[in-house]
Amino acid sequence: MHGEYIVLDFWFTGCRICFDTMPNFQKLYNLSNSNKVGLFSVCCYNEKQGEDYLTGRKVLSERGYDFPVLSINIKDSLLQNLGVSAMPMVLIFNSERKLIFRGSLEYAEDFMKDFKCKI
């Protein structure tokens, strides 16, 4: 992961709201031509639903999205440790990889503008 800031957008396949926000995430990714911000989608896959670490990439590719996709098991304790208790949820980390934002994509965009960080 590169960038002065890292933006992670957590979602899962059964979340309609998650898919509703993806066009905005794609726009942000398309605008992110600087090395200041690394934008990553994080699919929280559910093995009980027959999903695996490739599910997110497949689902997004089928919908025409081309932003980077990471995967994590929805039962992974890292999600709880990061405070990802509902989805969609965006986390932003600074250059020291300290968590500086947790919330929605809409508020994340405003937050980044307030930090004068061009996406």
Mean pLDDT of 64-81: 96
- pLDDT at residue 77, rounded to an integer: 96
Average pLDDT value over all residues in the chain = 90
Angle in degrees, 0-180, between the axes of helices 16-31 and 105-114, rounded to the nearest 10? 30
DSSP readout, 21-67?
A: HHHHHHHHHHH--STTEEEEEEEEE-GGGT--TTHHHHHHHHTT--S
Structure tokens at 5: 């800031």
- As a whole number of angstroms, the distance between CA 4 and CA 26 comes to 19
Whether CATH 3.40.630.20 fits 5-31+38-103? no
pLDDT in tens, 15-63: 999 999 999 999 988 887 666 788 999 999 999 999 999 999 999 999 9
Whether the link from the prior residue into 68 is cis, omega within 30° of 0, is: no
Q: Model pTM?
A: 0.90
What is the band of 78 on the pLDDT scale with cuts at 50, 70, 90?
very high
- As a whole number of angstroms, the distance between CA 93 and CA 75 comes to 22
